[in-house]
Amino acid sequence: MLQPAFDEMNGLGQGVREPYAAVAEWLGTLRIDDLKRKRAEAEVLFRRTGITFNVYGDEDAAERLIPFDIIPRIISAAEWRRLAAGIEQRVRALNAFMYDIYHRQEILKAGRIPPELIIQNSAFVPEMIGVEPPLGIYSHIIGIDLVRTGENEFYVLEDNTRTPSGVSYMLENRETMMHMFPDLFARNNVAPVEVYPEKLLQTLESVAPEGLNRDPVIAVLTPGIYNSAYFEHSFLADQMGVELVEGNDLVVLDGALHMKTTQGLTQVDVIYRRVDDSHLDPLVFDPDSLLGVPGIFDVYRAGRVTIVNAPGAGIADDKAIYSYIPEIIEFYLGRPPILSNVPTHNCRHPDGLKYVLEHLSELVVKEVHGSGGYGMLVGPAASKEEIETFRAKLKARPENYIAQPTLALSTCPTLVEDGLAPRHLDLRPFVLIGDQVRLVPGGLTRVALKRGSLVVNSSQGGGTKDTWVLQD
């Protein structure tokens, strides 16, 4: 049914690909037991460092490790150059699109996107209309999910413009690999990723409110220790040397945002928030939220604090908007997209729906607002019953779904029970947008550990790998 997948190490079977030469040689010198022992060592390291994530609704496994695979995923310098150019182009267009959507809405007037797709979208925040974020940027930290299907075929599967997570794994995976296999790094010219926190800090500083006559005070806002990504929040705050605050630590007073310190109140200028829009400000959004700060949105609107990413940034990563991104790039930048989209059928269109219903067993169907691999159908892997259940859901609410062909995601050798075996993977580079676009060479490689599985999400049993970008 599926064509054979392209393998990152072995291509389509014509021998080891150039970027993997040194790693393949190294693997050849090791026995499977050695590798398994190393993997166990890595787990102890992760556990002791507390690099864990929480799974909602799973009391027993309140703090779980994301399985870490010790065989790296490697990207050549030339491949990365192309990806980097495409990513930069994409994030510039996404921000231009958001600025337009919350201002003149030229793209709607030009009829390039159906207005109801924006206006009726729950990710669209009308309160943001007319707000001027510093430097006109809405999404300062974007994770772009990429997949590969061949030597030169990369696709963008998804943009994450709200609060993308996973960058701490990119950094800790590298730290662990360098600790365990220092020789490997002596033999391969791997681009460093540890500059990410510094670049994040520079990005945050660059979007501080104008006219501050002091260094901006920056804080990371977390929902707290029970959040699934809490480790990452504390990790990033620590690496940047800024406070990690919860909603209760903040208060709005005299039109400014303050944090409550041991010496009284300190004004905060930039908030890197890791709480959702709806929880940000109970006065404007969800009134029952205890995670946010009453009044913060007014301070933001008055330009006295910068919220990163901006409220309403989710409009750019909505799955219903996704299929319009190539148009968005052309519209704002006047150039064709460098990175391709996966061809997408919008079930809101009758033609799209008809096609999808006829080809359910071949397609991946996703909820427009879903995330984390929940509520999706992978046609080729689904049973007849599952397909029929999904068909009913589709017919009931077609506008709630999009569908894409099942891509043969590239594989990479991965350590499993009986040794090394190819497993499917994706790649999420993290790009920073402030006074300039900053892209650390690398990203988070997620790998589906189950044989044949295409779902890489950690909530669905996916693992991660260290991601190497080689330098010339």
Partner 1 sequence: MLGRTANDLFWLSRYVERAENMARLIEVGYRIALLPRTGDAKNEEWRSTLESAGCAPGYFAKNETLSARDVVNYLLFDLTNNSSIHSCLATARQNARAQRTALTREMWESLNSSWIEFQSIKPNTLTSDGLPKLLDWIKERSAAYRGALMNTILRNDTYHFSQLGTFLERADNTARILDVKYYVLLPSSTMVGGGIDNVQWEAILRSVSAHRSYRWVYKDSYRAWQIADYLILNRAMPRSLRACYGEIDGSLKDLARLYGAEQPCLGTAKTTLALLDQGEIDTIFQSGLHEFLSDFIARNNRVGHEISEAYHFNA
Task: Tell me which residues touch partner 1 (CB under 8 A).
Answer: 47-50, 224-225, 230, 234-235, 237-238, 243-246, 248-249, 259-264
Nearest-angstrom CA–CA distance, 177 and 69: 10
Question: Cβ closer to partner 1: 240 or 444?
Answer: 240
To the nearest whole angstrom, how small is the minimum distance from the Cβ of residue 215 to partner 1? 17
To the nearest whole angstrom, how small is the minimum distance from the Cβ of residue 40 to partner 1? 15
Question: Cβ closer to partner 1: 224 or 303?
Answer: 224
To the nearest whole angstrom, how small is the minimum distance from the Cβ of residue 231 to partner 1? 8
Question: Cβ closer to partner 1: 247 or 463?
Answer: 247
Nearest-angstrom CA–CA distance, 16 and 65: 31
Nearest-angstrom CA–CA distance, 70 and 66: 13
Nearest-angstrom CA–CA distance, 297 and 285: 9
Q: Which residue has the tokens 């699109």?
A: 97
Within 8 A by CB and 6+ apart from 48, the residues are none
Nearest-angstrom CA–CA distance, 383 and 375: 15
Please, what is the end-to-end C-alpha distance for the chain in angstroms? Answer: 38
Question: Cβ closer to partner 1: 24 or 45?
Answer: 45
Can you state the angle between helices 77-101 and 325-333, rounded to 10 degrees? 80
Question: Cβ closer to partner 1: 196 or 230?
Answer: 230
To the nearest whole angstrom, how small is the minimum distance from the Cβ of residue 66 to partner 1? 17
Q: In 3-state terms, the chain is what percent helix, strand and coil (to 5)?
A: 35, 25, 40
Within 8 A by CB and 6+ apart from 163, the residues are 141, 273, 274, 275, 276, 309
Question: Cβ closer to partner 1: 16 or 65?
Answer: 65
To the nearest whole angstrom, how small is the minimum distance from the Cβ of residue 433 to partner 1? 25
Q: Do 411 and 5 touch, CB atoms closer than 8 A?
A: yes
To the nearest whole angstrom, how small is the minimum distance from the Cβ of residue 443 to partner 1? 24
To the nearest whole angstrom, how small is the minimum distance from the Cβ of residue 229 to partner 1? 13
Q: Do 105 and 126 touch, CB atoms closer than 8 A?
A: no
Nearest-angstrom CA–CA distance, 128 and 141: 18
Length of the chain: 472
Question: Cβ closer to partner 1: 221 or 353?
Answer: 221
To the nearest whole angstrom, how small is the minimum distance from the Cβ of residue 47 to partner 1? 7
Residue 83, number of CB atoms within 10 A of its CB: 24
Residue 146, number of CB atoms within 10 A of its CB: 19
To the nearest whole angstrom, how small is the minimum distance from the Cβ of residue 261 to partner 1? 6
Question: Cβ closer to partner 1: 211 or 264?
Answer: 264
Single-letter residue type at 370:
G
Question: Cβ closer to partner 1: 247 or 462?
Answer: 247
